[in-house]
């Protein structure tokens, strides 16, 4: 997902469950503002290449 690596790093620093839940909701809301559906994965691409492709779109 676009920004997924940065999000993963951020979410792993949050200890509180409610704060994690809100961070996930905020991330998905932000994705929803940028696109009408989640992007499909591309078979054979690694996660970094997929993220860069998603950011370029």
Q: What is the pLDDT of residue 40?
A: 79
pLDDT of residue 25: 97
Instruction: Note if the pTM is more than 0.85.
Output: no
Dist. CA 43–CA 19, nearest whole Å: 33
**57 or 10, greater pLDDT:** 10
Conformation bin of residue 49: beta by default, left when phi > 0, alpha when psi is -120 to 50 = alpha
Q: Which residues contact 47 (CB under 8 A, 6 or more apart)?
A: 4, 5
User: What pLDDT is recorded for position 44?
Assistant: 61
Would you state the pLDDT for residue 50?
Answer: 60
Q: Where are the domains of the chain?
A: 1-34
Provide the pLDDT for residue 12.
96
10-42, pLDDT tens digit by residue? Answer: 999 999 999 999 999 999 999 999 998 877 776
**Both structure tokens of 33:** 């503002």
């Amino acid at each position: 997902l676009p920004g997924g690596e940065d999000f993963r790093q951020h979410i792993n620093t949050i200890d509180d469950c409610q704060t994690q839940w809100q961070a996930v909701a905020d991330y998905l809301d932000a994705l929803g503002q940028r696109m009408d559906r989640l992007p499909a994965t591309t078979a054979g691409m690694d996660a970094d290449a997929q993220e860069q492709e998603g950011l370029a779109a």
